[in-house]
Each structure stands twice: as C-alpha cells, then as structure tokens.
Amino acid sequence: MRKPLMRIPYTGPLPAPSIIPRNANTIPGAIAALSRFLTAPPPPTLLAPLPNGDPQSTVILSGAGISVASGLADYRGANGTYRQNKTYRPIYYHEFLANHEARKRYWARSFLGWTNLHKARPNPAHYAIKNLGHMGIIRSVVTQNVDSFHSIAHPDIPTLELHGYLRALTCVTCHNDLPREKFQESLARLNPAWAAFLEEAIASGALDTENPDERRAKGMRTNPDGDVDLPGAPYSTFRYPACPHCLEKPPIAGDGTQTRVEVDEEGAWESTSTAGILKPSVVMFGESIASRVKEAAEQAIDGSGKLLVLGTSLATYSAWRLARRARERGMPIGILNLGGVRGEEAFFQNLPIGQQGEASVRVEFGTDIILPGLVDQLRRTGYTHTKNDASDDGQHTNSRVFKDMLS
C-alpha cells in the first residue's frame, strides 16, 4: 500500500508553557485565576458578538485530555498514544474507503476497543462544566472528542462534536446511520473467535487497567479513537457487515449506474460490492469537516465573549483555527492543559501589566482537579451571572439554531 503523504502534526512534545499569572502554579492559585477570568467583564476591545450572543459568556473548546480521567487515552500527553506508541498512525480516510483489508484491520481493532469506550463514563470535569452552564457562565461547548461524554454529562448545554462521534456509523453511500451497539453485535456474530478472545481479555482485566505498561504486558495498546492494537493479530480473517439499508435496496450511484451490495451467507460485506460500506461517524484523518459543522463552530466562538481551552494541545488545525478566531475577535483566552499547546504564546501577547487572570489564564493541571474546585469557589463567593430579558431570549434562540445546524 502506498504510504500516505499527509503528515500527522506535533507527535512530539510541545514546548512547556509559561504559567499565567505566575501564582497560578498552585491549585488554589489556578482556581483563583480562572475564577477571575470567567467572571471579569468583557474587554472594551472585544468585537461585538452575534446579535443573539452574550459577551459575558464563555465558550469551551475541549480535547482528549479532558477524558483521561474517564479512563481514555489522549494523544500527546505524558502517557499519550503518540508518546507511548511511536509506530501508531490513525487510518486515513482514503485508505478506509479504498481498501477492504484496511477496513478489516480497522474494525477488528475497533471491535476490541469499543468495550472500554462503551463502559467509560464522564468524569468530574464534564459535570463541572454542567454546573458552570447552570451558573450562566458557559454558553456552549465545542469538542474534538468523539466519546460523547459532554452530551451525556450536560445535555442542556449546546455541544458541537467537531470531529463527529463513535456512538454511530454512517454509510458512505446512502448516508444512513446505524447505532454502534447494533453494529458491535453484528461484528461479534460474524467473528466468533474474536468475540471469544474479547471475552477472555475482559476476564483477564486487560481492558480494566489504564496503565500503558500493564496493557502492553497483556499484549494490548488502547488508542483514544476507540481501538485496540493487538500485535500479530490475523486481521485478514475479520469480517464486517454491509449497510442494511443499501443491502435491502441498493441505491443508484452518482453517475446513474445501479450499485450492488453483496454479502456472504452470514451477511458479511463482500469485496465484489460497489456500495454499502459503513464508516464510524467521525471525521477521519484526511477527511474534511462538513461546512455546516465549521459554520456552527464559528458561530459558537462569535456568540461568546471568552474562550476556555480544556485538555487539548490544539495540534489539529480545525481546533487551532477556532482559537485564532477567538484571538482575532479580541476574546480573552484561558488554557487549562497538561503540556504545551500549539502556538500558545500568540494568545497571550500584550497582556495588561499586573493582570491576575482577568485578561488571560494559562494553567497546567488536570481538568478533573481544577474544574470542580472552580465550581466550589464560585459557589462560595455567591457568583451569579445575570442577563437582561433580551439577552436571555437570544441565548435560547441561538441554542436552538446551534442544535438545528447539527441535526
């Protein structure tokens, strides 16, 4: 197979951050700085938000680091996939579409990895965001994560999943969706030997430990996109089902020809098919984000007065461009992330002398430690975020628009 030319950005460690303000290098100092950041009035240089926006509110941009406390891996942290598994490369979108063998390998690994993701749950950081939303501080969330923890923990806060989600699959031909649990059952039925191995792995505890060394000792590596690397596994034997909609009624192709979907006697997709390929409902590496999702993300930035970056190095351009957009609008930016962030020095230029978090914050602690403490402090101080009636109506209207764009 021809090696993809697309480079995965920033697989090595990024430069260590400068903590802002300096006394945010302790947990109490970090919480105090973030409290001032979230409650400070908007700066006079802030561009006016959208008509239904709220300049006092905050939009969150989150990444894999926020889900580490839920038992999932991240990419670029100290124990991240790129740091611990130097040979790891995600499957490329064009490879997935073009290569039957590549899909076998992907679905085999995903079949093993789904159990750990499926049983994982949101952690205290996600529920702290829920509380900040109830206080009127957080207006919306844009996440790069595909684990759906945000929507589970705080379904009432508008949440945009920038890179999609693993809870469903999408047919690349007819674009209908299929729940992942139903698909997982089909994989188990088509691959009884793999299903038996998965049961053994669960019984052995190989999927219970989050220690990468322990997992490697048991022959497994778990990746943040929901799959397991099993060295030496016979991926070529793995089978996966066809899209049930295309199987029942093969659609007409874009060029007007009739597609065909062929399966074996047990329902596994056959390589003689010209349609019916299911893919995870995520944006794969090398795949473009839908324009409506890009627009919704930009509206989330433009409708708020501050940006709080949580658990992400902003290594992917789709996330970094949103932070850049916030900076160009004059929005104060706060970053809570373990490890460096792509180009972060540009977000903290020309800060007021002596500012203690009102203008910007850079903190290096775990989100599951800081965010619950932040909620507690805001409650102790009796903080409430009041809006006039017009602003409140606007927020609810914008929430509906935000959700409608993603439906």
**Tens digit of each residue's pLDDT (9 = 90 or more) over 264-322:** 999 999 999 999 999 999 999 899 999 999 999 999 999 999 999 999 999 999 999 99
- Please check if 246 is assigned to a binding site: yes
Residue 235: the pLDDT is: 86
User: pTM to 2 decimals?
Assistant: 0.86
Per the annotation, does 404 bind a ligand?
no
pLDDT band at 9 (very low <50, low <70, confident <90, very high): low
- Is residue 218 very low, low, confident or very high in pLDDT (cuts 50, 70, 90)? low
Which domains are assigned to the chain?
22-69+123-163+289-406 (3.40.50.1220), 87-121+166-282 (no CATH)
- For the chain, the average pLDDT equals 86
Catalytic residue among 163, 175, 245, 385: 163
Known binder of ligand: residue 217? no
Is 396 annotated as catalytic?
no
Position 85 confidence tier, pLDDT thresholds 50, 70, 90? low
b vs e for 256-280, b when ≥16 Cβ sit within 10 Å of the residue's Cβ?
A: eeebebbbeeeebbeeebebbbbbb
Annotation-wise, does 171 bind a ligand? yes
